[in-house]
Chains A and B, each alone.
Chain A
Amino acid sequence: MGLLSKRDAALLTDPLADNNPITIQVLGICSALAITAELKASIVMAVSVLFVLGLGNVVISLMRNIIPSKIRIIVQLIVVATLVIIVDLVLKAFAYELSKTLSVFVGLIITNCIIMGRFEAFALGNGPWRAFLDGIGNAVGYGVILIAVGFFRELLGSGTLLGFKVLGDPIEKSGLYAIGYENNGFMLLSPMALIVVGILIWIQRSRNTTLIEEN
């Protein structure tokens, strides 16, 4: 890549595969379980985290030399909280219905371990540009899993994608429903999200066996 050095490019691509925040580091699971019953909510959540993590990493990185290390967690929290409030207000102003679906989970981005984790592990020790790339990379890695889980849960659980009835109409018995297909209600419950994430981890580890820990 001409634009990015090899080292910088790795910041973007690593979290997408072998260092994925959800499937490898097992962070941010709560939100992955809670809001992935619909694809739309997953996408909005992914974008929100992209915004918060990308910008937050830059802000923390810029301030990294003036934050006293004893109160750094509080400073980080204030930065996240500010950004999350911006996201929350934007959602309430422009997508009110959706913000009701996401309800408390927008606020809970503050406690998403991925964000504090990246602040601590990366932004405090690196320049703003690299911190930005790291934030984007991790947020996209998180978002990809969220969207994949949301895709399967909405498709199999409700028979829709982004609200469109892709499998036919269950009430008028058209499309797949005409031959006796039924939506899988279990997919809409949180335990199934855990199992879907588990299956994704399983697939990833069987494709790349170096990820399997010795025990």
Chain B
Amino acid sequence: MSLKQNLHNLKEKYKGTKMAPAFNAIHTFLYLPNEVTHVGGTHIKAADDLKRTMNIVIMALIPCLLFGMFNAGYQHYAAIDNSLRADVLANFFTFDNLWIGIIKVLPLVIVSYGVGLLVEFIFAVIKGHEVEEGYLVTGMLVPLIVPVDTPLWMLSVAVVFGVVIGKEVFGGTGMNILNPALTIRAFLFFAYPTWMSGDKVWVYDAVNRTGTADAISGETILGSYAQNQEVMYSTFDKFMGFIPGSVGETSTFLILIGAAILIFTKIGSWRIILSAFVGAAVMGLIFNQVVAADIITESSKFYGLMNTVWWEHLTIGGLAFGAVFMATDPVTGSQTNKGKWIYGFLIGFISIMIRVFNPAYPEGVFLAILLMNVFAPTIDHYVVQGNVKKRLNRTKVKTA
């Protein structure tokens, strides 16, 4: 008997019982929707149901994940032997690097999916609805936005918190105000700050070696700039992602490929992505001008990040990843076209502002997106009201 048949039998067997959603989930995931076009009549066929949407986002994320696995190993070995950085391309795609990725990054993915889907199953059984696909993307995003050395139990606690408080209390997929993946990230950041910032967590094994003779350090670029230090990475490294950082957010190049997939399939809004980059560039330019006008001098603690050239801000830190994969979440973002421009622009603008002024943590993308998530309905409200007013005026002019 085939898997499909087995699952179908299970589904029939448990029909109507409390546990039904849990058994149906796999069948639903693999074989539904199974409607085919009937003979006769005219049909409008739309293939973009929730599950297909989610799958395309996951496909767009896969390059980032694979790159992140290689990068985990590369940063580890390069931190031990700095000469590896001389020839990145020769030393990057090696099996040793991938192996570190497999033992460090894959567990993050498995724990994220395992714990998150368990919570989803429990809620589906209690509330008696089908398991929703919403977690499939969140579960993939989460391991990509945490440092590689995040302890797995911390990730589990954060995932439970994020799924329950960030999503289920509001009514599940589609009802949440905040992006669940970012809620998880924010929880980790506020609950365990020593594991989410500093120079010890971004490179595999740096934590264990602290204080020993062969200690290794892997400060992120933002971390170095925040301390007014020079960094040793070239623009090419920064753009391609051969730098320390959260697992999947280092490679701006692959993120842009993901963005192209999302825009081409019309799943991610190009308005949000573009305006987020524009917003970040504008804020970066303003800071550059502030430095050029000698208002901020080298003695200031803001100097390092303010003096960063505006386009460089776009390639370092999590800005690109946040703008492409997080800000475009259709549930928590703005819905109106004009609203999307404002929403995206403010995300980029505020991200760079927080990046420069936040004393504890030189990155602001997740805070900026969460903040704008909260304001997205307000923006939409005023856009709609503005439109209503404009049209009312138009009728007045006609009748007058």
Tell me the complex Cα distance, A187–B187, Å: 10
Minimum CB–CB distance for A201 against chain B, Å = 11
Is there a chain A Cβ closer than 8 Å to B195's Cβ? yes
Which A residues touch B195, using CB under 8 A? 182
Contact with A along B138-172 (1 / 0, CB 8 A): 00000000000001011001000000010001000
Contact B153–A180 (Cβ < 8 Å):
yes
Q: Is B382 an interface residue (CB 8 A)?
A: no
Give the CA-CA distance A186 to B192 in the complex, in Å.
8
Q: Does B330 contact A (CB under 8 A)?
A: no
Tell me which of B153, B165, B190, B194 has the highest count of chain A C-beta atoms within 10 A of its own C-beta: B190
Pick from B190, B192, B194: contact of A189, CB under 8 Å: B190
Q: How far is the CA of A186 from the CA of B183 in the complex (A)?
A: 13
Please give, as numbers and ranges, the residues of chain A lying within 8 Å of B191 by CB-CB distance: 184-187
Q: Which residues of B contact A189 (CB under 8 A)?
A: 190
Residue-wise, chain A 174-206 has the 8 Å CB interface mask toward B (1 for contact) of: 000000101011110100000100100010000
Tell me whether chain B's interface is mostly helix, strand or loop, or mixed.
helix
Tell me if B193 counts as interface (CB < 8 A to partner A): yes
Report the minimum CB–CB distance from A156 to chain B (whole Å): 9
Query: B151 — which chain A residues lie within 8 A by C-beta?
Result: 180, 182
CB-CB under 8 A from B187, the residues of chain A are 186
- Is A182 touching B165 in the complex (CB atoms < 8 A)? no
Contact call A185/B190, Cβ cutoff below 8 A: yes
A185 vs B361: C-alpha distance when bound (angstroms)? 15
Contact B192 A185, beta carbon cutoff 8 Å: yes
Measured between alpha carbons, how far is A28 from B187 in the docked complex, in Å?
A: 26
What is the bound-complex CA distance between A185 and B186, given in angstroms?
12
Chain B residue nearest in CB terms to A206? B126
User: Is the beta-carbon distance between A195 and B165 smaller than 8 angstroms?
Assistant: yes
CA distance A189 to B191 in the complex (A): 9
Q: Are B169 and A186 in contact (CB under 8 A)?
A: no
Q: Give the residues in chain B near A184, CB-CB below 8 Å.
A: 157, 191-192
Describe A's contact surface by its main secondary structure: helix
B residues within 8 A CB of A180? Answer: 151, 153
Q: B314 CB to closest chain A CB, in angstroms?
A: 30
How close is A97's CB to chain B, nearest CB, in angstroms?
A: 27
Do the beta carbons of B190 and A182 come within 8 Å of each other?
A: no
Cross-interface CB contact of B169 among A182, A187, A202, cutoff 8 Å: A202
Q: How far is the CA of A182 from the CA of B187 in the complex (A)?
A: 14
| A185 contact set on B, CB distance < 8 A | 190-193
Distance (whole angstroms) from the CB of A196 to the closest CB of chain B: 11
A186 to B196, CA, bound (A): 13
Let me know if B154 and A186 touch, CB within 8 A: no
Bound state CA distance, A202 and B193, in angstroms? 28
Contacts of B190 in A (CB 8 A): 185-186, 189
Minimum CB–CB distance for B198 against chain A, Å: 14
User: Nearest-CB distance from A63 to chain B (Å)?
Assistant: 45
Q: Which chain B residues lie closer than 8 Å to A198 at the CB level?
A: 169
Report B193-251 residues with CB < 8 Å from chain A CB: 193-195
Rounded to whole Å, the gap between the CB of B231 and the closest CB of chain A is 29
Residues of A within 8 A of B194 (CB): 182
0 or 1 for each of A5-32: is its CB under 8 Å from B? (1 = yes): 0000000000000000000000000000
Q: Which residue of B lies closest to A180 (CB)?
A: B151
In the assembled complex, the CB of A94 is this many whole angstroms from the nearest CB of chain B, namely 35
Interface residues of A in 35-58 (CB under 8 A from B): none
A105 to B151, CA, bound (A): 38
Contacts of B157 in A (CB 8 A): 184
| Distance from B374 Cβ to chain A, minimum over Cβ atoms (Å) | 13
Alpha-carbon distance A195/B187, docked complex (angstroms): 12
Cα of A185 to Cα of B195 in the assembled complex, Å: 11
A181 to chain B, nearest CB (A): 8
Most buried by A among B165, B169, B191, B192: B191
CA distance A125 to B169 in the complex (A): 40
Chain A residue at minimum C-beta to C-beta distance from B152: A180
**Cα of A202 to Cα of B153 in the assembled complex, Å:** 25
Contacts of B154 in A (CB 8 A): 182
Per the bound structure, the CA–CA distance linking A186 and B154 in Å amounts to 13
Q: Give the residues in chain A near B165, CB-CB below 8 Å.
A: 195
Distance in Å from the Cβ of B200 to the closest Cβ of chain A? 14
- A207 vs B282: C-alpha distance when bound (angstroms): 53
Write the chain A residue with the least CB distance to B193: A185
Query: Can you list 22 contacts pairing A with B, beta carbon distance less than 8 Å?
Result: A180-B151, A180-B153, A182-B151, A182-B154, A182-B192, A182-B194, A182-B195, A184-B157, A184-B191, A184-B192, A185-B190, A185-B191, A185-B192, A185-B193, A186-B187, A186-B190, A186-B191, A187-B191, A189-B190, A195-B165, A198-B169, A202-B169
6 more contacts with CB within 8 A, not counting A185-B191, A189-B190, are A180-B151, A182-B154, A182-B192, A184-B191, A185-B190, A185-B192
